[in-house]
Amino acid sequence: MNIHEYQAKSLLKKYGVAVPRGGVAYTPQEAETVARELGGPVWVVKSQIHAGGRGAGRFKGNPEGKGGVRVVKSIEEVGKNAGEMLNNVLITKQTGPEGREVKRLYVEEGADIKRELYLGLLTDRATGRVTIMASTEGGMEIEEVAHNTPEKIVKVAIDPATGVQGYHTRKIAFALGLEGKQVGSAAKFITAAYKAFIDLDCAIVEINPLIVTGAGDILALDAKISFDDNALFRHKDIEELRDEAEEDPYEIEAAKHSLNYVKLDGNIGCMVNGAGLAMATMDIIKLYGGEPANFLDVGGGATKERVTAAFKLILSDSNVEGILVNIFGGIMRCDVIAEGVVAAAREVHLHVPLVVRLEGTNVDLGKKILAESGLPILSADNLADAAEKVVKAVKEAA
Ligand code: ADP
Ligand code: MG
């Protein structure tokens, strides 16, 4: 789960991470009120969407205009810029071409930026540890830095038994070219960010940019936090920060039925049990020249209701022009799947070709249910056959 910048900053602040002062606003009037309370002389009006690259982004219909992060010098300008951003669609490198509608703003005091640095914390699967990454190349996408100038990134893996130690923070501070009292401030900053990361079960904490101000202070000018969904049950207060408007409506629906669903751009919907088989199914669809519309793992113990929900979910995506159901009945029984498929196909008045490949427990009964349903279901014998059939059926229907 992701949260907005202002929420991330507020959480980090509680742990002692230094952030500028600011306040959230939903209307231009609120933005002006926040700005007045902060006092000037410089404010920054920041679009709150769950995507980065806002500063360099552009609003839909106004490609020549200003971006989603604006530095202004009067209360009137705060209101004016807030009005230009709110309820408009911001397109950034991370939003994709459709962009995201800006519903909230963060009005922040303007910082006197001397240097822009990068600090990120994430779980590194290779070391099995929380890794702190830092770079002097702040403000840019870290992926680009990693690609073009990997030597400019320093990484420190933290032993969970000891936590962050002085030598870790010194290594990072020196790599960032910090000096004097900044080394101590950085140590406090990094230690606080690490504590937040662990306490809140984060997957990513990214501060980009981390700045050094003209006065030599260290501040988080931007903040992104992603939480480990599997640990959210331990953090009811964080769950409340969820902004469903920022999430994929299909994935919200899937989560309600405990389905593992990821929407993709293709036109062949897939319903599979098991993540590995689901990946293999997407691969083989591509091998036969098709494009999967989604990843969907219905899980091992799916019920008829869950299968029906999965089926409806796939069909609610208007890009779907064909469906491939690929089930290996191990724990899952093929007849249960077949019943779910038939019930769902009837309920939604199936209008696209459906190919079903069943194998495993009760496969004959499953096939019989499909055959006797009277629905135009194409039965397949193996994975390759199934993929070939669905790709062909979609092409023919087009
Ligand atoms: P994004 O990464 O989505 O573009 P940021 O919060 O990183 O958004 O802002 C983009 C840039 O805007 C920053 O790199 C910084 O130069 C500037 N900026 C952001 N917040 C402030 C602020 N409070 N004061 C001064 N400049 C800011
Ligand atoms: Mg940023």
Please name which ligand lies nearest the alpha carbon of 53.
Answer: 1
Cα of first residue to Cα of last residue in the chain, in angstroms, is 37
The pLDDT value recorded for residue 70 is 97
Please name which ligand lies nearest the alpha carbon of 116.
Answer: 1
pLDDT in tens, 332-371: 788 988 888 898 888 878 889 999 999 999 999 999 999 9
The answer to whether 118 is a known catalytic residue is: yes
Q: How far is the CA of 58 from the centre of ligand 1 (A)?
A: 15
Give percent of the chain with pLDDT exceeding 70.
99
Considering only residues 309 and 302, tell me which one the structure prediction assigns the higher pLDDT: 309
Q: How far is the CA of 224 from the centre of ligand 1 (A)?
A: 12
Q: Say whether 187 sits in a helix, a strand or coil.
A: helix
**At residue 80, does pLDDT exceed 80?**
yes
The pLDDT value recorded for residue 346 is 86
The pLDDT value recorded for residue 381 is 86
Query: Is 69 touching ligand 1 by the criterion CB < 6 Å?
Result: yes
Considering only residues 271 and 248, tell me which one the structure prediction assigns the higher pLDDT: 271
Q: Are 268 and 323 in contact (CB under 8 A)?
A: yes
**At residue 252, does pLDDT exceed 90?**
no
Distance CA 89, CA 77 (A): 20
Q: Are 296 and 313 in contact (CB under 8 A)?
A: yes
The pLDDT value recorded for residue 299 is 80
Number of the ligand 1 atom closest to the C-alpha atom of 222: 6
The catalytic residue among 5, 137, 206, 246 is: 206
Number of the ligand 1 atom closest to the C-alpha atom of 208: 7
According to DSSP, residue 62 is labeled B
Scan for tokens 């929407």, then name that residue.
263
The answer to whether 15 is a known catalytic residue is: no
Question: Could you give all domains of the chain from N- to C-terminal order, each with its CATH number?
Answer: 21-109 (3.30.1490.20), 113-239 (3.30.470.20), 249-397 (3.40.50.261)
Considering only residues 260 and 301, tell me which one the structure prediction assigns the higher pLDDT: 260
Distance CA 345, CA 348 (A): 5
Please name which ligand lies nearest the alpha carbon of 9.
Answer: 1
Query: Is 55 touching ligand 1 by the criterion CB < 6 Å?
Result: yes
The pLDDT value recorded for residue 304 is 76
**At residue 302, does pLDDT exceed 80?**
no
**At residue 228, does pLDDT exceed 90?**
yes
pLDDT in tens, 303-340: 778 888 898 899 888 999 999 999 888 877 889 888 88
Is residue 267 packed enough to be buried (19+ CB in 10 Å), middle (13-18) or exposed (0-12)? Answer: buried
Distance CA 170, CA 187 (A): 7
Number of the ligand 1 atom closest to the C-alpha atom of 116: 14
Query: Is 20 touching ligand 1 by the criterion CB < 6 Å?
Result: yes
The pLDDT value recorded for residue 349 is 82
The pLDDT value recorded for residue 308 is 85
Handedness of CA 312, 317, 318, 324 (dihedral sign): negative
Q: How far is the CA of 69 from the centre of ligand 1 (A)?
A: 6
**Atom 11, ligand 1: which residue's CA is nearest?**
55
| 197-202 average pLDDT score | 97
- Reported as a pLDDT band with limits 50, 70 and 90, residue 249 is confident
Distance CA 219, CA 109 (A): 12
Query: Is 222 touching ligand 1 by the criterion CB < 6 Å?
Result: yes
**At residue 91, does pLDDT exceed 90?**
yes
Scan for tokens 């303007």, then name that residue.
110
Average pLDDT, the chain: 93
- Exposure string for 204-213, b = 16+ CB within 10 A, e = fewer: ebbbbbbbbb
**At residue 222, does pLDDT exceed 90?**
yes
Query: Is 67 touching ligand 1 by the criterion CB < 6 Å?
Result: no
Give percent of the chain with pLDDT exceeding 90.
77
- To 5 degrees, how large is the angle CA 364–CA 369–CA 371? 90
The pLDDT value recorded for residue 178 is 97
Distance CA 73, CA 186 (A): 30
Distance CA 272, CA 300 (A): 10
Q: What pTM did the predictor assign?
A: 0.82
**At residue 300, does pLDDT exceed 80?**
no
The catalytic residue among 30, 32, 106, 118 is: 118
The pLDDT value recorded for residue 215 is 95
pLDDT in tens, 369-390: 999 998 889 999 899 999 999 9
Q: How far is the CA of 20 from the centre of ligand 2 (A)?
A: 14
Largest CA distance in the chain: 79
Lowest mean pLDDT among 19-23, 52-56, 198-202, 314-318: 314-318
Q: How far is the CA of 142 from the centre of ligand 1 (A)?
A: 15
